[in-house]
Structure 1
Amino acid sequence: MTILKTYARLWTDELDHSLALLRELTGAEPDLRFVFGSIQLAAIGDFLVIAGPPAERARFSHASATVIVDDLDALTSTLAAAGAEITAPVSTGVTGRFLYARHRGGAEVEYVEWIPELVERVMGAGISR
């Protein structure tokens, strides 16, 4: 199991306002942009911008980071061996499969295994499963 990318989470009321500054700071356009329920998300540079009404954002605020991995099944074994607790089981979204886990010590992280097309588009050639 390999970590492909780690995103710092940024919480905002309005996605486009936040993206304007991040475009300037990173010199890049968002790698992806999508809707998950009533939440809008965009990944730009090493940031995952999460926008929507405060009550809806609060449903996801327990995780301190989003980590992209190449093999969610192998990650589950690694987490179990390290004493982590799966707090939200493997589910599927538009970007691939994901789960939430609380590490020993209390940090909670969202782990995502992207669909192959997204790995290729964001990470480029040379990264494959």
Structure 2
Amino acid sequence: MLAMAIDSVVVRQRVEDLDAAVPFYEKLTGATASRFAFAGVTLASVGPFLLFAGPDEAAQRVAGVAATLAVADLDLAVEEAEAGGAEVVVPVQPTPNGHRAVLRHPHGGVFEYVGP
């Protein structure tokens, strides 16, 4: 049994026009968007949503991940997920907002893990 805890889940949503989509999600969540660019796409984090837009090739890489899982200890989460049968697709690396890793769970789902 894994000892790590998932602190929150962020839903990923590809949008055609990030500027047009952000106001809807800000109103829906009551949160202000935090915008940034990463891996060839532009993104906006709004409450539990991660909106992204960009060229097809770059956007497909982001869309291939089902959700983002925030954890308090990224290294421990990766270690324990691997011990449970997960495969590391992208090892721990720095991002504009901390660190991330991408893992394929033993049942096929691909998830981004983020943490400090």
Q: TM-score, normalised by structure 2?
A: 0.89
Q: Which runs of 5+ in 2 are unaligned?
A: none
Distance (Å, rounded) in 1 between the aligned partners of 2:6 and 2:106: 19
- Alpha-carbon deviation of 1:87? 0.8
- Aligned partner of 1:17 in structure 2 is 20
**Residue identity opposite 1:29 in structure 2:** T
- Alpha-carbon deviation of 1:112? 0.8
Matched length: 113
- Contact 2:88/2:102 (<8 A) preserved: yes
The CA RMSD measured in Å over matched residues stands at: 1.3
- Aligned partner of 2:92 in structure 1 is 90
Kindly report structure 1 stretches of 4+ aligned residues shifted beyond 3 Å: none
- Contact 2:75/2:92 (<8 A) preserved: no
- Aligned partner of 1:127 in structure 2 is none
Distance (Å, rounded) in 2 between the aligned partners of 1:38 and 1:96: 18
- Alpha-carbon deviation of 1:13? 2.2
**Residue identity opposite 2:44 in structure 1:** A
- Contact 2:8/2:71 (<8 A) preserved: yes
- Contact 1:66/1:109 (<8 A) preserved: yes
- Answering whether residue 79 of structure 2 is matched by residue 77 of structure 1, we say yes
- Aligned partner of 2:103 in structure 1 is 101
- Alpha-carbon deviation of 1:16? 1.2
- Alpha-carbon deviation of 1:110? 0.5
- Aligned partner of 1:61 in structure 2 is 63
Secondary structure (helix, strand or coil) at the match of 1:60 reads helix
Distance (Å, rounded) in 2 between the aligned partners of 1:48 and 1:70: 19
**Residue identity opposite 1:40 in structure 2:** T
Bigger relative contact order, structure 1 or 2 (CA pairs below 8 A, ≥6 apart) = 2
Superposition pairs of residues 107-122 of structure 1, within 5 angstroms: 107-114=109-116
